[in-house]
Amino acid sequence: MKTIRTATDLALNGAPPAFAEPLHVGRPNIGDRAALLAQFERILDARWLTNNGPLVQEFEHRIARHLGVKHCVAMCNGTIALEIAIRALGLHGEVIVPSWTFIATAHALYWQGITPVFADIDPSTHNLDPNAVRSMITPRTTGIIGVHLWGRAAPIEELQAIADKHGLQLMFDAAHAFGSTYKGRTIGQFGRCEVLSFHATKSFNTMEGGAIVTNDDELAEATRLMRNFGFSGYDNVIHPGTNGKMIEVCAAAGLANLEALGATQSGNRRTHAAYKQALGNITGVTVLDYDATESNSHHYVVAEVDERCTVTRDQIVAALHAENVLARKYFWPGCHGMKPYRELFPHAGRVLPNTELAAERVLVLPAGPSISSDEIEQIASTIRVMCQWGLGGF
């Protein structure tokens, strides 16, 4: 029988982990090195490092064209892009968001003095449940931020109908959804605007970076002003603002990585399919599928460990960590369970049963184009043996 070790076992007997180097979730994708260095040369030649430089302008045009959207306003990161979008939409009071998302979605609101109100998810998609959204609307609600979790589109039409009916603003956190589609249309065109993240760990990265994409001319103009301290021309400040500018180095990385996009995505799909196959026959472990009729980066390999499994999700995480496989339990315990929001809403969990279930079950595995099929098989066999033998396998 194959032996599964915990971190404690390893510490006691000093046995080496299965992998000498740690395998991370969100290992950065790096495109062609020569292409990247050539872009860096352009920056040095032009001696233009930031402040809406030529590479940022080119990057914005390329992204807008790629997504089929009128405006791309590039930013230093996705969180600042969310904050600027939230200000530009004039959100205040309460805004409805999922709790099952990366903490930045909630923080971007709270940092702007707005109360994030957490609505529950549909357990089959991990995206906002429209009925849950409806139940959280109060007279103070001014907007909804939908999140396209794991790159799968939120229920856009239902959310838009709710927003229209109640006079609310709708925008999307599309940090996971670069290149995803909804009913065949590319994410980026929906709501008043959508916000992308190009953080190093995302499927497509600019090292750090983000953008607001929209078809709304006025909104695009307002966010451009806010991104650059409200400057219109050299000396004329016409609006309050902040520093949300993307630097040229980040645009350079984006331009190089855009060239590598096809290879990254086919690698991601291969990895997802290999995990699907390798974890396919384990009772109590289900790898989340993506809709075959829509585009998705397949960047996230998300498994759910349910009560049919003989071991818990946390026991699997501990065993994988002992083998240097740094699987993650994103976004445990849900935003509502994190200290700032737990103190604000101590009973939020009562109306978030599906979020709490996902938080107990979800396991995100190291993926991406750079992981090998042998590594995937080794990871899967660790999980398989644990699930077959339980903790008795130790």
Ligand X SMILES: *Cc1c(COP(=O)(O)O)cnc(C)c1O
The yes or no reply on residue 83 touching ligand X (CB under 6 A) is no
Q: Which residue is nearest to ligand X (CB)?
A: 78
Contacts with ligand X, 130-149, as mask; x by CB under 6 A: -----------------x--
Burial 1-16 (b: 16+ CB within 10 A, else e): eeebbbeeebeeeeee
- Cα 170 from chain centre: 18
How far apart CA 143 and CA 200 sit, in angstroms, is: 29
- Which of 63, 69, 104, 327 contacts ligand X by CB under 6 A? 104
- Which of 26, 39, 60, 77 contacts ligand X by CB under 6 A? 77
User: What sign does the dihedral 216-87-347-149 (CA atoms) show?
Assistant: positive
The yes or no reply on residue 79 touching ligand X (CB under 6 A) is yes
How far apart CA 216 and CA 71 sit, in angstroms, is: 8
- Cα 149 from chain centre: 7
- Name, in order, each residue with C-beta under 8 angstroms of 106's C-beta and a sequence gap of 6 or more: 97, 99, 116, 118, 335, 341
CB of 341 to ligand X, least distance (A): 15
- Which of 180, 186, 189, 197 contacts ligand X by CB under 6 A? 197
Stretch that binds ligand X, among 11-19, 32-40, 96-104, 299-307 (CB under 6 A): 96-104
The yes or no reply on residue 199 touching ligand X (CB under 6 A) is yes
The yes or no reply on residue 188 touching ligand X (CB under 6 A) is no
Give the up-direction half-sphere exposure of residue 220: CA atoms within 13 A in the CB hemisphere: 15
The yes or no reply on residue 152 touching ligand X (CB under 6 A) is no
- Which of 29, 99, 101, 189 contacts ligand X by CB under 6 A? 101
How far apart CA 39 and CA 178 sit, in angstroms, is: 22
Stretch that binds ligand X, among 76-84, 133-141, 259-267, 361-369 (CB under 6 A): 76-84
CB of 79 to ligand X, least distance (A): 3
* Between 129 and 173, CB nearer to ligand X: 173
CB of 17 to ligand X, least distance (A): 28
The yes or no reply on residue 194 touching ligand X (CB under 6 A) is no
CB of 54 to ligand X, least distance (A): 23
- Which of 29, 105, 127, 169 contacts ligand X by CB under 6 A? 105
* Between 26 and 267, CB nearer to ligand X: 26
The yes or no reply on residue 78 touching ligand X (CB under 6 A) is yes
Please check whether residue 368 is in contact with residue 24, taking contact to mean a CB–CB distance below 8 angstroms: no
The yes or no reply on residue 176 touching ligand X (CB under 6 A) is yes
Binders in 206-225 for ligand X, by CB under 6 A? 210
The yes or no reply on residue 180 touching ligand X (CB under 6 A) is no
* Between 89 and 285, CB nearer to ligand X: 89
* Cα distances (angstroms) measured from residue 16 to each of 65, 178, 379: 49, 38, 15
User: If binding means CB under 6 A, how many residues of this protein chain bind ligand X?
Assistant: 14
* Between 198 and 345, CB nearer to ligand X: 198
Binders in 303-362 for ligand X, by CB under 6 A? none
How far apart CA 32 and CA 267 sit, in angstroms, is: 15
- Which of 109, 153, 156, 175 contacts ligand X by CB under 6 A? 175
* Cα distances (angstroms) measured from residue 1 to each of 163, 210, 223, 374, 385: 56, 48, 60, 20, 8
Stretch that binds ligand X, among 53-61, 152-160, 169-177, 225-233 (CB under 6 A): 169-177
Rg (CA), the chain: 22
Binding site for ligand X (CB under 6 A): 77-79, 101-102, 104-105, 147, 173, 175-176, 197, 199, 210
